[in-house]
Structure 1
């Protein structure tokens, strides 16, 4: 994007004239203009983003204006205030104005717009109260809005103390070393301290030896963190209302985290007494880490799992990893071995797979230590590796060189040869494509030599359960942006995408071409996207083949760019099937999806209450101590909803109760007119680790009674965190299946040292579950019925076989075995029991869309209403194509065209038609459907969190399968090490968190809670409540259903822009957050097919392949080290930052103090928070999360003394050592040796410099 930056400050004065702008010349300012469409030099009429930052006499920001940024073309103003000591303790919300001043300073910003979008309030700002001391530590933090303001008692409180005697136990780690197979092996031993020193006595830290910092959230829930003088967290303490819930962290002699001791382990140690830690406590409850003599993590053990081993090459790259099951013959490969990763000269992953070898970790490490050549592979187009008839165009010089089963291959720079490799198109939708050889070309007026060098060109991924391959090829425009993909599936069919991008990289048109097998008739999906002058998505259209164009969405935004309403469905811009209206509170949290108290023609309404309760506080007098109370920390107190499926349907409500750890204690269902019927409630109890120990549940009312049917009273028994038995004391067959003699749940490798996967569950009739090496179930036998799954090596599910009924999953297109009677259904929710004697044929059934799916058999668009979690609540379709949805059954008159009546009166008949609502779903808090059944004949079975319900009653959450009747997963958490309960769901708060990936609970954005209740290793840090989430909270909607995520890094500085087209708004923010998080971690997600993506599953499972195998089994990344792990002592780099005395705003004054603050942290963006886009940062993005540094001190000097700007002025060079994981090279400014550091940097060294003579 073309960007102009103009400064007028105390250091740079003069007469300035800007086309079409009325900047206030009596003020200091920085003005920026970013064009959203190409211009020759300057234009006042082109699409553009304009901002001006006015500065006071000290160079501090005093007003930020986004010019004509609202949907109505008005200005948005963010005033900046300082207290008497020059501190910014108030962070103002963006204030929409009633006019535009074309960049002019607002002496008194109009508050009318604030009232209209935020509601009436006395504080349109967040506020901090700082300690009255030179430390100026944060003491209190208040969010915008009267309920949260200072003095309300509903603020975040901070307290700073030191520990008391006998308050914190002192664990010690002693490491013994030995040489095994030529490799130094350290064995740490954990114990309670028996020493008496200046710091410890009687197994406790002495008083005043630890920092004790406590954070209390708005509801008074406290988290206390104890830290030693080295900055190491020793203890995180919470309280469940009756007892402390402690998590300890123990470090070895070298400062490495060697043990994490969760609350249940702490209690067991206290019960056992003495200084020695029992072995069963370590194995079943603790997290253990071992390092080699090069500070690399080489062994780890999580509770209830066997040891995992890691082996590195001399370049410190992870080459081999082995979990417990790979040390047995019970795996996909029929033998013991390791998962391996191979790299090229640029540290890019080139291929991965399985290495059959029974040697120990020490033997493997010694072999890599003894290598005399570089451990790299090179392209070998003429002499490929041949495996099962597949050519792999690389050498096999790196370790290992034999006994390999190759599972994934990545190609870069140029395209691989081969007979079936598709020809690169020269042009895609009018856009030229990059070629492998450098070619001189002119792009946006700049002539350079460009090629696909440095870009991923193809990726091959093998199926796990058979030898089929999926081959993906990528085409780029002349700016290196992906505009086309060609994926050849394992059946010989394909999915091709073509994307037309605008100047800024937004998709204008996406065409998708698909065949399951080569002989199929091609399906063509065409999507178009229209945007306003600020690139907010306005209209999304969809077309299947030559069928009529469907308008999926027409978006309307409020003056903050929050989605205000969305028209859904229909074939005309002037009409729609439904209009969905959204409302938000002052904190940006969604409060309403339509109004359930006034539906009109709306099929569904949904209301969310946080800090108020409108239903009963005690809806179930059996549990009078469980009260539904207003919540101020982001937890939801109530949700209420209503549909038009019944005449005079009553309003339904769930009121929620939480404990002091923010875990859900109960969800009480209430129905207007009979609020105390005790229907559909769930009540839960937990142990110290958060494992559910008791669950009570009811169903609907008994026939002819006012009393609900109690169906579950479940008692959970555990070994460690593994659920081994469930006893239903209610003795009812509904809900969880009751058995008089409940059977023991069994896990792999005899419950002892496997991967922690559930292999049988007798109560559910599950006699066997087999897993692949990614810990995904490949076969489930339930009541003698077999379900088989087939996955790719990147974890993507491609086939399910339930008995003789097959379902294929191909790039979002879903096929299912279909009987003739099913083809005759007319939609609208009509279900016909198929004749079992019919022969089923595999048919294309589902094409997903951003608002639901396209029913291929009936040629109908099905639309989904979803709640704040993404649960599918109601689905509907326009069966008769009349442009109106009939919510209930209705009469339709049909008449003959030709009449035999002598008076020419047509013969007519009234026909009873079903309503056009396809399904309605209500859920218990943990996801079980009310009046539970498993799947129906409908091919579309995506319900809870938008995930697929299986015939077994499990939900496929991508990384794991979830059991909603128990509220737990059946597999160990792939991200174990971050949570206390490796089988728990959503940190036991399924209303605030969702986990559609099975990896990590996704919190409600914008909330100010004290973090998840089950976190491991995370300090509770202050929340920046001043940065309102404008687009918006609770993950429900976005102002752009095509989210362009940040540049994701691959190898050393290579990059690939990912444009994720995510169907269904509930998955959008999650997917974009994952993409951005992956970019920060050095992972690149695959490119889904633009028109028919399946949500986040593909990307997540590609990451899952690394988590389970410890290496890249899919696309484009360096090996993934689990968060919380420290594989080695990180290398550091010294970076320099030059800041001139003419720098904008307060940047120079901050630099004097050794501080660097990103612009995105100074002001509130009007589009979804601070930006991560590296290219936009290089272009001067004022909302970037990055600060710029350089590995060259000379470059920093040039910026400091004005050489870079043609000036000669004094300045400052800042310098600091960063871990390599803390900074990323910017591939868009290679000439500056630029590195980008996210967030605020403190403590840099400062050097004052003057211009050189003659400069």
Structure 2
């Protein structure tokens, strides 16, 4: 078949992404095969270019806390050198050797940056820790009850945002020009402007839609956008972008008047001096910080609530402004790191290590059971083990811990559950999950109860307490219905805490 564009991906022996290659944008990610190797998932070098030509090289340096100390590139020349204070706030930043800007704080709140090109005015905050005066841009902001920007004003700028009760942006009015956001469709006034798709957007050109495609790097940063030329039928570049380590767009990149979804795939707010809307708050890549407190600050007590991506923006992202997340997942069984792809797909898909779909969040219980039944062959014993690995362990995967039942309360806190949910989850874990874990007792895969030997083997794999192993085949049926109901409740709670997350191959 003939395609408009093709991209090939390569992985190392650990399953880590080594690079992607296409005629338009290619990159290589290097970990331990460089002069200063990184063995823990940090990226030491990133080469990029097009085709087989890698004319640009980014080199990164880290401290012992995995914080980025330096990111400099050749070819397209960019450089950032940083130091940090004891709270993890940026202390100094020197961009392109233009002179180090010194960050001044009251607590964790930035009050100003002095010296160098980054020098700013004074930042002012409200009682909730939101910046009401942006010292860099001079913009004065107000916030709604969700701590989201409601208005932004300065000379020549009048900006207002409208949200729904969940904090989803519905409308932006910039100097009288209205833009509305409705479930992936954006309107200019009353006219559809763009429709978001999996690989880019469909743009309305006076009633005729053209598809624009984005090529992104491992962080979701849009690096190359193109479409099919309507006259020649050939691929035509619309824009290409490079970024400094903390996300500032390189001024040498072609300036786009159309695609506003760039760094991490987030919408740039041109009116606010290149800040990006992540959903829960806005990020300023020029200074490498948020201007409002992390909504889940209690889950990152070791970090300043204004820190972006744990000060390691080459490895970590923040999907929605709530909390930084690793691009890797550590498998506690295999002791290996695996890359995670997170999407904004309406139906969040969970896949196994071979890329086979295990579950979609809109699946019914019978859908899941049938799919697993189709994938597990070889008798009750194998069914039990596969059932645990593919179905029962879903909760473990979401909670990123192979021993998720040891301390349900702390896991619940990490996932943002309320106190009642934590109590219910803990109760389910202690009284029911520990007494057999879900449907293993009933074994819907084969239509009959598991033999005692298979159940014991499953318990060994799961690592449940010894006293639980006294459960025999004759008593398993008594637990079946209750276990099934409990699992559905626990699964639902876990999935609610894992939105916008896709586990599987990149």
Scaled by the length of structure 2, the TM-score of the pair is 0.72
Q: For 1:877 and 1:634, how far apart are their aligned partners in 2? A: 34
- More strand as a share of residues: 1
> Pick from 947, 967, 975: which aligns with 2:296?
975
Are the aligned partners of 2:347 and 2:360 in contact in 1 as well (CA < 8 Å)? no
Give the CA deviation at 1:1204.
6.2
Q: In the alignment, is residue 606 of structure 1 matched against residue 27 of structure 2?
A: yes
Distance change >3 Å, CA 789–CA 1232, structure 1 → 2: closer
Give the CA deviation at 1:1200.
1.5
Q: What's the counterpart of residue 229 of structure 2?
A: 879
Q: What's the counterpart of residue 852 of structure 1?
A: 200
Q: For 2:16 and 2:72, how far apart are their aligned partners in 1? A: 22
Residue correspondence of structure 1 range 832-843 to structure 2 within 5 A: 842-843=190-191
Residue correspondence of structure 1 range 1131-1146 to structure 2 within 5 A: 1132=427, 1134-1135=431-432, 1137=435, 1142-1144=451-453
Q: In the alignment, is residue 589 of structure 1 matched against residue 16 of structure 2?
A: yes
Alignment deviations for residues 593-613 of structure 1 (CA, whole Å, 9 cap, x no partner): 11xxxx6xx111111111122
Q: What's the counterpart of residue 199 of structure 1?
A: none
Structure 2 runs not aligned, ≥5 long: 351-358, 369-393, 401-411, 442-448, 492-506
Q: What's the counterpart of residue 652 of structure 1?
A: 56
Q: In the alignment, is residue 1148 of structure 1 matched against residue 456 of structure 2?
A: yes
Give the CA deviation at 1:671.
1.9
Q: In the alignment, is residue 744 of structure 1 matched against residue 122 of structure 2?
A: yes
Residue correspondence of structure 1 range 281-680 to structure 2 within 5 A: 574-594=1-21, 602-613=23-34, 629-643=36-50, 651-671=55-75, 679-680=77-78
Q: For 1:719 and 1:1028, how far apart are their aligned partners in 2? A: 38
Q: For 2:414 and 2:330, how far apart are their aligned partners in 1? A: 26
Q: What's the counterpart of residue 1200 of structure 1?
A: 472
> Pick from 341, 345, 355: which aligns with 1:1035?
341
Distance change >3 Å, CA 976–CA 932, structure 1 → 2: farther
Please, what is the CA RMSD of the aligned residues? 4.1
Q: What's the counterpart of residue 152 of structure 2?
A: 780
Residue correspondence of structure 1 range 720-1119 to structure 2 within 5 A: 720-727=107-114, 729-730=115-116, 732=117, 736=118, 738=119, 742-748=120-126, 754-766=127-139, 768-816=140-188, 842-857=190-205, 859-880=209-230, 882-885=232-235, 916-931=236-251, 937-938=257-258, 940-951=259-270, 952=272, 953-979=274-300, 980-1006=303-329, 1023-1026=332-335, 1029=338, 1033=339, 1035=341, 1043-1044=348-349
> Pick from 68, 79, 83: which aligns with 1:685?
83
Please give the secondary structure, in 2, of the residue aligned with 1:690. coil
Q: For 2:343 and 2:146, how far apart are their aligned partners in 1? A: 32
Are the aligned partners of 2:349 and 2:361 in contact in 1 as well (CA < 8 Å)? no
Are the aligned partners of 1:1048 and 1:1076 in contact in 2 as well (CA < 8 Å)? no
Are the aligned partners of 2:131 and 2:292 in contact in 1 as well (CA < 8 Å)? yes
Are the aligned partners of 1:967 and 1:985 in contact in 2 as well (CA < 8 Å)? yes
Are the aligned partners of 1:1048 and 1:1078 in contact in 2 as well (CA < 8 Å)? no
Q: Please identify the structure whose Cα radius of gyration is greater.
A: 1
Are the aligned partners of 2:348 and 2:361 in contact in 1 as well (CA < 8 Å)? no
Q: For 1:1057 and 1:944, how far apart are their aligned partners in 2? A: 37
Q: For 2:399 and 2:224, how far apart are their aligned partners in 1? A: 37
Aligned residues: 420
Structure 1 runs not aligned, ≥5 long: 1-573, 618-628, 673-678, 699-709, 749-753, 818-841, 886-915, 1009-1022, 1059-1074, 1082-1119, 1159-1186, 1206-1212, 1214-1225, 1240-1255
Q: What's the counterpart of residue 705 of structure 1?
A: none
Alignment deviations for residues 259-301 of structure 1 (CA, whole Å, 9 cap, x no partner): xxxxxxxxxxxxxxxxxxxxxxxxxxxxxxxxxxxxxxxxxxx
Are the aligned partners of 2:399 and 2:415 in contact in 1 as well (CA < 8 Å)? no
Give the CA deviation at 1:581.
0.2
Are the aligned partners of 1:958 and 1:998 in contact in 2 as well (CA < 8 Å)? yes
Are the aligned partners of 2:62 and 2:70 in contact in 1 as well (CA < 8 Å)? yes
Are the aligned partners of 2:330 and 2:337 in contact in 1 as well (CA < 8 Å)? no
Distance change >3 Å, CA 989–CA 1231, structure 1 → 2: closer
Q: For 2:165 and 2:346, how far apart are their aligned partners in 1? A: 29
